[in-house]
Amino acid sequence: MGQVDQKTMTNKVPDHGPKHVAIIMDGNGRWAQMRGKPRLFGHHAGAKRIREIVEACPDQGVKYLTIFAFSTENWKRTQAEVAGLMRLFRAYIQHEARDLFQRGVRVRFIGDRIKLDDKLVSLMDELELLTAGNDRVHLTIALNYGGRDEVTRAAQRLAYEIEMGRLSYKDVDAETLAKFLDTHVLPDPDLVIRTSGEARISNFLLWQSAYAEYEFIDTLWPDFTEAEFARIVGAYGTRDRRFGAVKA
């Protein structure tokens, strides 16, 4: 919880904290298995944690929160788990849309929509449209997202622009390529958190996290709390980000 400033009655937020936090929400399956339950039980418990973390963002000075919900590699799971996850995404949007809107959350989705079913894609479009005027927290949900897939799709669109004669190959630099990424309107993440003890990126925000700080924690995603989020975000302020330079 941020400290309340007695004069203005507004929450004091640290201005040196991360503006954009990205989370690899991992460990739902193991959380369920430990309880002798099916993996989908863990996914449902995981989805319920999102609201509290989104709500914690303004107090922590976090303007952008990006969460990894489904990777381009997650299709390799059993048909039953994939179908259950897709049903969960639809239900999540249907149940949470109103609340997200009322809490001033702007929702965006990143990832390739082509493989997602029409009903889910229209719910995603509607939620983006509904919340387009919000600015309190920017929540980005990575759904059928893969970093390599995103860069490949961006390269393809860039190549198309060149083929059409609207761009020259000489215009292709990091800044131009970034404009073709799904995240083009977002700042790069400052901090990436992964739960469940795995210390890997699993294809998440490869380009954007070039200079992000990483925090790998053992907590399984359904056990992740606002308190732990606040502790990690608070500890970020002590890190010395040099971006390749030497401090004077």
- Catalytic residues, by residue number, are 26, 74
SS3 91: helix
**Whose Cβ is closer to ligand IPE: residue 47's or residue 62's?**
47
Backbone φ, ψ for residue 125 (5° rounding): -60, -45
Residue 30 found at the interface with ligand IPE (CB under 6 A): yes
Residue 149 found at the interface with Mg ion (CB under 5 A): no
Q: What beta strand segments (E) does 39-151 contain?
A: 64-71, 105-110, 137-145
Residue 219 found at the interface with ligand IPE (CB under 6 A): no
Residue 215 found at the interface with Mg ion (CB under 5 A): no
Give the interface segment with ligand IPE, choosing from 51-59, 63-71, 115-123, 132-140 (CB under 6 A). Answer: 63-71
Beta-sheet strand order (sheet of 213-216): 105-110, 137-145, 64-71, 20-24, 191-194, 213-216
Tell me whether strands 11-12 and 3-4 are parallel, antiparallel or unpaired.
antiparallel
Please check whether residue 111 is in contact with residue 188, taking contact to mean a CB–CB distance below 8 angstroms: no
What's the min distance (Å) between Cβ of 198 and ligand IPE?
5
Query: Residue 225: which region, alpha, beta or left (left: phi > 0; alpha: psi -120 to 50)?
Result: beta
Count, residues near ligand IPE per rule CB under 6 A? 17
Return the amino acid letter for 94.
Q
**Whose Cβ is closer to Mg ion: residue 137's or residue 220's?**
220
What's the min distance (Å) between Cβ of 26 and Mg ion?
4
The correct pick among 27, 146, 189, 222 for binding ligand IPE (CB under 6 A) is: 27
Give the interface segment with Mg ion, choosing from 24-32, 68-76, 80-88, 125-133 (CB under 5 A). Answer: 24-32
Please check whether residue 142 is in contact with residue 70, taking contact to mean a CB–CB distance below 8 angstroms: yes
Residue 198 found at the interface with ligand IPE (CB under 6 A): yes
Task: Name the residues that contact ligand IPE, by CB under 6 A.
Answer: 24-30, 68-71, 74, 85, 196, 198, 200, 202
